[in-house]
Chain A
Amino acid sequence: MSRNKGSLRRVKAMIIKEFFQIIRDPSSILISLILPLILLFLYGYGVSLDADHIKLGLVLEDTSPEAQSFSESLTNSRYFDVTIKRDRRSFTDDITRGDIRGLVVIPSYFSSFRHRQDNTAPIQVIADGSEPNTANFVQNYVLGAWLIWLQQQSYTEKLEGLPLVQSEPRFWYNEELESRNFLIPGSLALIMTLIGTLLTALVVAREWERGTMEALMSTPVSIVELLIGKLVPYFILGLCSMTMSVIVARLIYGIPYRGHWITLLLVSGVFLVAALALGLLISTLAKNQFVAAQASMVTAFLPAFILSGFIFEITSMPQAIQYLTYLLPARYFVASLQTLFLVGDVREVILPNTLAMLFLGILLFMLTARFTVKRLD
């Protein structure tokens, strides 16, 4: 009886202690408040998966009105920044240096296509294959521009060979195909991983390094009390950081949010529990800050970055890696966040994802409780 009463007081004392430490420790503030802002800034402005303003070289060997009109359709496109020269050789150095990503050649015989048998006008597109992604963009966008121009030409000149089928693409949920609209919600998962796993593993490892853990363990405090004493403060810190990040995402970056706030809170809470459990598990196994940081990077941060579907599409990964992603709480969190922000409360997505996170969280906690003993060896 008296032991239970003492238990509550001990947990409270641990939590208060932890809060004072968070306030006074610049590295906790850095990880929980400054780093999220930096990440949001990077994903808001810095990283873009859209092909905007690709540097393109255009060789105009032909100066006919048709060639001029096609070159205008390229220069007017928001996808390209076009430099025009007369001689293709003068671009060779630029493309080697990477100053331009692609080269379009409108040959001198371009406007004579009307006189050709097949009535087609040849152009040459050279892309910098050392960056395959951009090279693909160049090829496809130039092709697209080309087709549109052909269409317009056929309208204005009533040419034969009008395409029979026309597609009118529409994008749902992210109408403007803004990559930041799905990158920023995904980066929230990274931020939560940083606080839940990295910060927690670091602060516990620090207690080992400074010898305070040893002093704590020689007092009547129990392992469960110790764990709760670490869990609660960083849970609250994580939610605060999440709230801040969501506000910044909404107000400064104008990311849409279409779900309910309560759902977001619940989903984030469940993810945090799993992330914290992993952090505590790492810290019981790695008793110095360097190892703890490495372990959290490898087991939590990098997977959350690469394998969560935040940047790279999970369905396009090799089958074995796809199975691996099922073990990552971040995977479910990213899916839930992107749905909540861009679509709304879709029960069919949110519920199974949350349950999966909850299951992983409980599993990690059981492991932590099993591996943590009140002893040094």
Chain B
Amino acid sequence: MTEDLAVIRHLSKKFSPKSPPALQDINVVIPKGKIVGLAGPDGAGKTTLIRLMAGLLLPTDGSVTVAGFDTIKQPEEIHAIIGYMPQRFGLYEDLTVIQNLNLYADLRGVIGKERSDVFERLLNFTSLKTFVDRLAGRLSGGMKQKLGLACALIRKPSLLLLDEPSVGVDPISRRELWKMVHDLLADGISVLWSTAYLDEAEKCDSVILLNEGKLLYHGTPRELTQRMEGRSFLITNIAKNRRQVLSEALKEPNVMDGIIQGSSVRIVIKEVKTPPIALEKLDAGSEARIEPVPPRFEDAFVDILGGGPGGYSELAEKTPPIPYDEKPVIEADNLVRKFGSFVAVDHVSFKVKSGEIFGLLGPNGAGKSTTFRMMCGLLKPTAGSSFVSGMDLQVASSQARAQLGYMAQKFSLYGNLSVSQNLDFFSGIYSMEGKRRRQAIDEMIRIFSFTPYLDMSAESLPLGYKQRMALACSLMHKPHVLFLDEPTSGVDPITRREFWNHINGLVEKGVTIIVTTHFMDEAEYCDRIGLIYQSKLIEIGTPDELKKLAQTAENPSPTLEDAFIQLIEKHGRNNVPK
């Protein structure tokens, strides 16, 4: 029986009377000396909950107490005992590492001998010792993350609040941070770790799962995954097309959810029975085998949300088939882009075949989006060239550009135009007219079920619908080549599956797709992946080829993340961005 450090009772938060509540009747506890994962898609209420716990927001209803102090009446006492690392780490980028540390040490009253001891310990702990005089803005993402943590730890807190500390950071730094935070638990510090990666939540002592402001689950991750025991399977040795196998499998009545995992297909069934499904119906070839695999946290999340969206894509159905082209559709030839003295993209070359999904995988700031923008002709390369369908987009006509669709990472619609106005506008800029235009718009409205949202302004849409809108607008003119820059970052697992249904369906029709992501499991959907790390493309291969590189006796079935880490280490990890 452990003592509870923080107790949250009937907590609700509304930001304005009209809007739906950001949090609704949350009841959770954070035990002493434990790490609690706070999981959920963007907009679920994770940051709001953390800010309420830090006494930075007032609850609309209910209460939060930390170590017996009430956040409404005693915020000062709470500020004295918490360490808080906001998103983007709360660092002064124009101060050096040591100046940042000095500031927070002064503010928290850590002085004299105590300060030098703490600094010594924290700098060792974070391996930042050789970088004390470097500006925080010049650190890599992983190093910023560690410095942010060090600043939050200057006076040993009772409760450490970390708001998405690992999102978009390279996998080595992610693992190091995880280990560092785990070491703190032994000192009796309680940790609340918010994350969009469900595999991370799975490793916590207990987990709070939020969706749209509601508490879906609170307890140990084990308890939740146990519910799914015996329901997860992997279909391997697929002879033909794994995407078709997945789409067939999702038609089976007993299949609740399914995803592609490299060259295999992973499914979750509704009821436990043997055999789980009739394999022969899937047209997976005579060699295909189905074997049980341990359940994952995400399986349970999808289960709570009522199962996956199925495997049918009307969007793909309506897309006319595109003939296969012998020549590579997308080609990057030694692309270089410098911003001042900083090399954002360093001699990146790759080719994408017709009808292929190619993924660029890498942490934030590695150069994925910059590469993308050069290929779409939005940014001029410092050196090198790129071709899409044989054209250099730096000089190609707008007619040639109409061949491709581009979905930007940031919300790129007109926020104060309504959904239907946005659809009208985007069909207009691709010079669609008359009946064809009307048809395309109606199709998108039906496929993405926009009907109830037509008169809403685009910026007030829920996140999942914003992403759907952005995809719809990039697809209305039926492009042959599709550029998707982090299309599913932050959305819930159901919406993500729906997106991949469309992407998979479009590829089957011959559309060539290039996609960036920092989600490892999303990269599994791709035919081939390019790993980007510190501006360089360090490896290209199919997901299975890459995983094989990391295979060892101790780790017979490595994940893509294991492979990435292995490759970064092989590539030589100079931690210092130039």
Instruction: Given A20-B95, A211-B90, A219-B79, answer yes or no on A12-B56 (Cβ-Cβ < 8 Å).
Output: no
The residue in B75, B88, B107, B111 that gathers the most chain A C-beta atoms within 10 A of its C-beta is B107
Instruction: Given A17-B103, A215-B151, A376-B56, answer yes or no on A220-B92 (Cβ-Cβ < 8 Å).
Output: no
- In the complex, are the beta carbons of A21 and B107 less than 8 A apart? no
CA distance A20 to B82 in the complex (A): 27
Q: Is B80 an interface residue (CB 8 A)?
A: yes
CA distance A217 to B91 in the complex (A): 13
CA distance A13 to B110 in the complex (A): 12
- In the complex, are the beta carbons of B54 and A218 less than 8 A apart? yes
Q: Is B425 an interface residue (CB 8 A)?
A: no
Q: Is B87 an interface residue (CB 8 A)?
A: yes
Q: Is A98 an interface residue (CB 8 A)?
A: no
Q: Is B61 an interface residue (CB 8 A)?
A: no
- In the complex, are the beta carbons of B56 and A217 less than 8 A apart? yes
CA distance A206 to B29 in the complex (A): 35
- In the complex, are the beta carbons of A9 and B109 less than 8 A apart? yes
- In the complex, are the beta carbons of A21 and B94 less than 8 A apart? yes
Q: Is A212 an interface residue (CB 8 A)?
A: yes
- In the complex, are the beta carbons of A218 and B79 less than 8 A apart? yes
Give the contacts of B91-118 with A (CB-CB under 8 A).
Answer: 91-95, 99, 102-104, 106-109, 111
B102–chain A nearest beta-carbon distance, Å: 7
- In the complex, are the beta carbons of A375 and B151 less than 8 A apart? no
CA distance A13 to B51 in the complex (A): 25
CA distance A166 to B87 in the complex (A): 78
Give the contacts of B126-159 with A (CB-CB under 8 A).
Answer: 135, 151
Instruction: Given A24-B94, A219-B79, answer yes or no on A214-B106 (Cβ-Cβ < 8 Å).
Output: no
Closest to A215 in B: B90
Query: Which of A12, A16, A377 is B57 in contact with, Cβ under 8 Å?
Result: A377
- In the complex, are the beta carbons of A212 and B107 less than 8 A apart? no
Q: Is B55 an interface residue (CB 8 A)?
A: yes
B137–chain A nearest beta-carbon distance, Å: 9
B466–chain A nearest beta-carbon distance, Å: 20
| A interface bracket (residues with beta carbon within 8 Å of B) | 20 to 34
Closest to B109 in A: A6
The residue in A13, A210, A215 that gathers the most chain B C-beta atoms within 10 A of its C-beta is A215
Q: Is A374 an interface residue (CB 8 A)?
A: yes
B165–chain A nearest beta-carbon distance, Å: 13
CA distance A220 to B94 in the complex (A): 23
Closest to A2 in B: B109
Question: Using Cβ atoms and an 8 Å threshold, which residues of chain A touch B57?
Answer: 375-377
Query: Which of A12, A25, A214 is B94 in contact with, Cβ under 8 Å?
Result: A25
B548–chain A nearest beta-carbon distance, Å: 41
Question: Using Cβ atoms and an 8 Å threshold, which residues of chain B touch A375?
Answer: 55-58, 75
Q: Is B558 an interface residue (CB 8 A)?
A: no
Give the contacts of A209-227 with B (CB-CB under 8 A).
Answer: 210-212, 214-222
- In the complex, are the beta carbons of A9 and B111 less than 8 A apart? yes
CA distance A21 to B419 in the complex (A): 43
CA distance A24 to B138 in the complex (A): 13
- In the complex, are the beta carbons of B82 and A17 less than 8 A apart? no
Main secondary structure of the interface of A (DSSP, over half): helix
- In the complex, are the beta carbons of A218 and B82 less than 8 A apart? yes
Give the contacts of B43-83 with A (CB-CB under 8 A).
Answer: 51, 54-58, 75-76, 79-80, 82
Question: Using Cβ atoms and an 8 Å threshold, which residues of chain A touch B151?
Answer: 215
The residue in B15, B89, B106 that gathers the most chain A C-beta atoms within 10 A of its C-beta is B106
1/0 per residue, CB under 8 A from B, across A333-377: the answer is 000000000000000000000000000000000000000001111
- In the complex, are the beta carbons of B75 and A210 less than 8 A apart? no
- In the complex, are the beta carbons of A13 and B107 less than 8 A apart? yes
- In the complex, are the beta carbons of B86 and A211 less than 8 A apart? yes
Q: Is A55 an interface residue (CB 8 A)?
A: no
Question: Using Cβ atoms and an 8 Å threshold, which residues of chain A touch B15?
Answer: 377
- In the complex, are the beta carbons of B94 and A219 less than 8 A apart? no
CA distance A374 to B56 in the complex (A): 7
Give the contacts of A169-225 with B (CB-CB under 8 A).
Answer: 210-212, 214-222
- In the complex, are the beta carbons of B94 and A212 less than 8 A apart? no
Q: Is A88 an interface residue (CB 8 A)?
A: no
- In the complex, are the beta carbons of A10 and B79 less than 8 A apart? no
Give the contacts of A18-65 with B (CB-CB under 8 A).
Answer: 20-21, 24-25
Instruction: Given A13-B102, A219-B104, A377-B15, answer yes or no on A214-B56 (Cβ-Cβ < 8 Å).
Output: yes
- In the complex, are the beta carbons of A212 and B91 less than 8 A apart? yes
CA distance A218 to B92 in the complex (A): 15
Question: Using Cβ atoms and an 8 Å threshold, which residues of chain B touch A14?
Answer: 103, 107
Query: Which of B80, B91, B95, B111 is A220 in contact with, Cβ under 8 Å?
Result: B80
Q: Is B330 an interface residue (CB 8 A)?
A: no
Question: Using Cβ atoms and an 8 Å threshold, which residues of chain B touch A10?
Answer: 106-107, 109
Question: Using Cβ atoms and an 8 Å threshold, which residues of chain B touch A6?
Answer: 109
- In the complex, are the beta carbons of B56 and A212 less than 8 A apart? no
Closest to A222 in B: B76
- In the complex, are the beta carbons of B56 and A215 less than 8 A apart? no
CA distance A9 to B111 in the complex (A): 10
- In the complex, are the beta carbons of B55 and A21 less than 8 A apart? no
Q: Is B84 an interface residue (CB 8 A)?
A: yes
Question: Using Cβ atoms and an 8 Å threshold, which residues of chain A touch B84?
Answer: 214-215, 218
Question: Using Cβ atoms and an 8 Å threshold, which residues of chain A touch B76?
Answer: 220, 222
Question: Using Cβ atoms and an 8 Å threshold, which residues of chain B touch A212?
Answer: 90-92
Q: Is B85 an interface residue (CB 8 A)?
A: yes
Question: Using Cβ atoms and an 8 Å threshold, which residues of chain B touch A12?
Answer: 106
Question: Using Cβ atoms and an 8 Å threshold, which residues of chain A touch B86?
Answer: 211, 214-215, 218
Closest to A5 in B: B109
Query: Which of A9, A21, A214, A377 is B92 in contact with, Cβ under 8 Å?
Result: A21
1/0 per residue, CB under 8 A from B, across A243-273: the answer is 0000000000000000000000000000000
CA distance A12 to B87 in the complex (A): 27
Question: Using Cβ atoms and an 8 Å threshold, which residues of chain B touch A13?
Answer: 102-103, 106-107
CA distance A211 to B144 in the complex (A): 14
- In the complex, are the beta carbons of A220 and B55 less than 8 A apart? no
Question: Using Cβ atoms and an 8 Å threshold, which residues of chain B touch A210?
Answer: 88, 93
- In the complex, are the beta carbons of B94 and A218 less than 8 A apart? no
Query: Which of B58, B88, B108 is A377 in contact with, Cβ under 8 Å?
Result: B58
Question: Using Cβ atoms and an 8 Å threshold, which residues of chain A touch B54?
Answer: 218
Question: Using Cβ atoms and an 8 Å threshold, which residues of chain A touch B103?
Answer: 13-14, 16-17
Question: Using Cβ atoms and an 8 Å threshold, which residues of chain B touch A377?
Answer: 15, 57-58
B315–chain A nearest beta-carbon distance, Å: 37
A5–chain B nearest beta-carbon distance, Å: 9
A16–chain B nearest beta-carbon distance, Å: 8
Instruction: Given A10-B106, A13-B107, A219-B107, answer yes or no on A20-B79 (Cβ-Cβ < 8 Å).
Output: no
CA distance A376 to B88 in the complex (A): 17
- In the complex, are the beta carbons of A17 and B92 less than 8 A apart? yes
- In the complex, are the beta carbons of B108 and A220 less than 8 A apart? yes
CA distance A16 to B99 in the complex (A): 9
Closest to A24 in B: B94
A31–chain B nearest beta-carbon distance, Å: 16
CA distance A9 to B105 in the complex (A): 10
Question: Using Cβ atoms and an 8 Å threshold, which residues of chain A touch B95?
Answer: 17, 20-21, 24
Question: Using Cβ atoms and an 8 Å threshold, which residues of chain A touch B85?
Answer: 215
- In the complex, are the beta carbons of A17 and B99 less than 8 A apart? yes
Question: Using Cβ atoms and an 8 Å threshold, which residues of chain A touch B94?
Answer: 20-21, 24-25
Query: Which of B88, B99, B102, B111 is A211 in contact with, Cβ under 8 Å?
Result: B88
CA distance A212 to B147 in the complex (A): 13
A19–chain B nearest beta-carbon distance, Å: 11
Question: Using Cβ atoms and an 8 Å threshold, which residues of chain B touch A220?
Answer: 76, 79-80, 107-109
A13–chain B nearest beta-carbon distance, Å: 3
The residue in B82, B104, B111 that gathers the most chain A C-beta atoms within 10 A of its C-beta is B104
Query: Which of B75, B90, B91, B107 is A374 in contact with, Cβ under 8 Å?
Result: B75
10 tightest A-B CB contacts, nearest first: A215-B90, A13-B106, A218-B84, A24-B94, A219-B107, A214-B86, A211-B86, A6-B109, A376-B56, A218-B54
Could you pull out 8 A-B pairs where Cβ atoms are within 8 angstroms? A12-B106, A214-B51, A214-B86, A215-B85, A215-B151, A216-B90, A375-B58, A376-B57
Given A17-B92, A21-B94, A220-B109, output 11 extra A-B contacts at Cβ < 8 Å.
Answer: A10-B107, A17-B95, A17-B103, A21-B92, A212-B92, A216-B90, A218-B54, A218-B79, A218-B84, A219-B108, A220-B108
